[in-house]
A and B are shown apart, each in its own frame.
Chain A
């Protein structure tokens, strides 16, 4: 089996590299050149070379034609440190692009060389006002707010625990909230499940939840997932999120969420409540215990109320 080092060495034999200053000269010279950022979109939003379109490595072969119309045009690829883009460059070369160059040292070296970069579009006036109290907090600030706006959190359960959590996260400007719940609103829910109103009785919880959260903060992209989490959908659902909030009301789901989050490397913010007592903890894979470290297997059905 080939090691990563072997792959990179092979790629270097066919792909020339240029340092930031040389690439900048190309850009300034006015001769045709296309620079492509092959990093993930969140890395790109943090800052990139001006005029470089973002085509993530995974989509490069599919979308490169939209950026490079003539296969003889020099194409410069870059990633964060110059490794991913080296492999990407080789793939482009194999596709038939004749003049593919790797930016040696990647974006990191570009920044270190003091060359210009552009960052996310400035926040709107409304956003600046809305999040102004966050800007006053040294640990959050504008940078933290941008990070929140780029973050994706999955809420499992839009009930007693999910309701307040979803409201606070939407208010704080967490950019994407997945709201997963297969239930409809019942009158008995309303004394604690504050996402829903009397008029919502009988409607799916994710529908009323989406409306409430959108009304609170239109900045937030709410993804309604009107279904129960199951062994068949859990991995596919959680893969899109940075963090999972377990607000479920039964042991079966808690074990499933715990196991899936551990296997997928996702942090799971766990909460549970029974009558007047509640508990909360955070399960971060390999940084601390998981739910099974506390309770290796589920309790017998009927022994503990869910």
Chain B
């Protein structure tokens, strides 16, 4: 699936998974698609980003610690 998406993006053909999350449940053999929206408050790609370089990934940085906002998935899924 990742290979097909890569080829499509490289060739600029078809409809890629940009903005869509495809989930696969092998036991139930079901695919599900969830629309994803950009978060205007995203710390990286939002309007006022707090992450503008990779310094939060440096060892000992607070970024590796946990913030309570971790479970915002539901809000982001449409």
**A interface with B by C-beta (< 8 Å):** 139-140, 144, 147-148, 151, 153, 161, 164-165, 167-169, 172, 174, 231, 234-235, 242-243, 245, 247, 252, 255-256, 258-260, 262-263, 267, 269-271, 276-290, 292-301
Question: Is the pair B9, A267 in contact by a Cβ cutoff of 8 Å?
Answer: yes
B contact residues, total (Cβ < 8 Å): 50
- Which residues of chain B from 1 to 18 have a CB within 8 Å of any chain A CB? 1-7, 9-11, 13-14, 16-18
Question: Is the pair B3, A259 in contact by a Cβ cutoff of 8 Å?
Answer: no
Question: Is the pair A298, B11 in contact by a Cβ cutoff of 8 Å?
Answer: no
Chain B residue nearest in CB terms to A294: B76
Which residues of chain B are within 8 angstroms of A168 by Cβ–Cβ distance?
3-4
Which residues of chain B are within 8 angstroms of A260 by Cβ–Cβ distance?
54
Question: Is the pair B9, A284 in contact by a Cβ cutoff of 8 Å?
Answer: yes
A262 to B38 Cα, complex, angstroms:
13
Could you list some 8 contacts between A and B, CB below 8 A?
A168-B3, A231-B57, A235-B54, A252-B57, A259-B56, A279-B21, A292-B45, A296-B43
Interface string of B46-78 (1 = CB under 8 A from A): 100001111011100001101101101100110
Question: Is the pair B11, A165 in contact by a Cβ cutoff of 8 Å?
Answer: no
Query: Closest CB-CB distance, A191 to chain B, in whole Å?
Result: 14
A-side binding surface: helix, strand, loop or mixed?
mixed
Of A165, A277, A279, chain B has the most CB atoms within 10 Å of the CB of A279
17 further A-B pairs in the complex, CB-CB below 8 A; given A289-B39, A293-B45, A298-B70: A153-B6, A164-B3, A172-B3, A243-B6, A245-B6, A260-B54, A263-B53, A269-B9, A269-B17, A276-B27, A283-B18, A287-B18, A290-B42, A292-B39, A292-B42, A293-B39, A297-B66
Question: Is the pair B2, A280 in contact by a Cβ cutoff of 8 Å?
Answer: yes
Select one of A269, A282, A286, A296 contacting B67, CB under 8 A: A296
Which residues of chain B are within 8 angstroms of A231 by Cβ–Cβ distance?
54, 57-58
Question: Is the pair A286, B45 in contact by a Cβ cutoff of 8 Å?
Answer: yes
Of B14, B24, B44, B70, chain A has the most CB atoms within 10 Å of the CB of B44
User: When A169-B6, A174-B7, A285-B45 are in contact, do A296 and B72 touch as well, CB less than 8 Å?
Assistant: yes
Which residues of chain A are within 8 angstroms of B24 by Cβ–Cβ distance?
277-280
User: When A289-B19, A289-B39 are in contact, do A255 and B6 touch as well, CB less than 8 Å?
Assistant: no
A247 to B2 Cα, complex, angstroms:
9
User: When A256-B57, A289-B39, A293-B37 are in contact, do A298 and B17 touch as well, CB less than 8 Å?
Assistant: no
Question: Is the pair B11, A140 in contact by a Cβ cutoff of 8 Å?
Answer: yes
A293 to B21 Cα, complex, angstroms:
12
A263 to B44 Cα, complex, angstroms:
9
**B interface with A by C-beta (< 8 Å):** 1-7, 9-11, 13-14, 16-27, 36-39, 42-46, 51-54, 56-58, 63-64, 66-67, 69-70, 72-73, 76-77
A234 to B52 Cα, complex, angstroms:
15
Query: Closest CB-CB distance, B27 to chain A, in whole Å?
Result: 5
Question: Is the pair B38, A288 in contact by a Cβ cutoff of 8 Å?
Answer: yes
Select one of B6, B69, B76 contacting A165, CB under 8 A: B6
Question: Is the pair A282, B18 in contact by a Cβ cutoff of 8 Å?
Answer: yes
User: When A243-B10, A278-B23, A282-B17 are in contact, do A259 and B2 touch as well, CB less than 8 Å?
Assistant: no
Which residues of chain B are within 8 angstroms of A174 by Cβ–Cβ distance?
6-7, 10
A277 to B54 Cα, complex, angstroms:
30
Of B6, B11, B73, chain A has the most CB atoms within 10 Å of the CB of B6
Which residues of chain A are within 8 angstroms of B72 by Cβ–Cβ distance?
294-296
Query: Closest CB-CB distance, A149 to chain B, in whole Å?
Result: 11
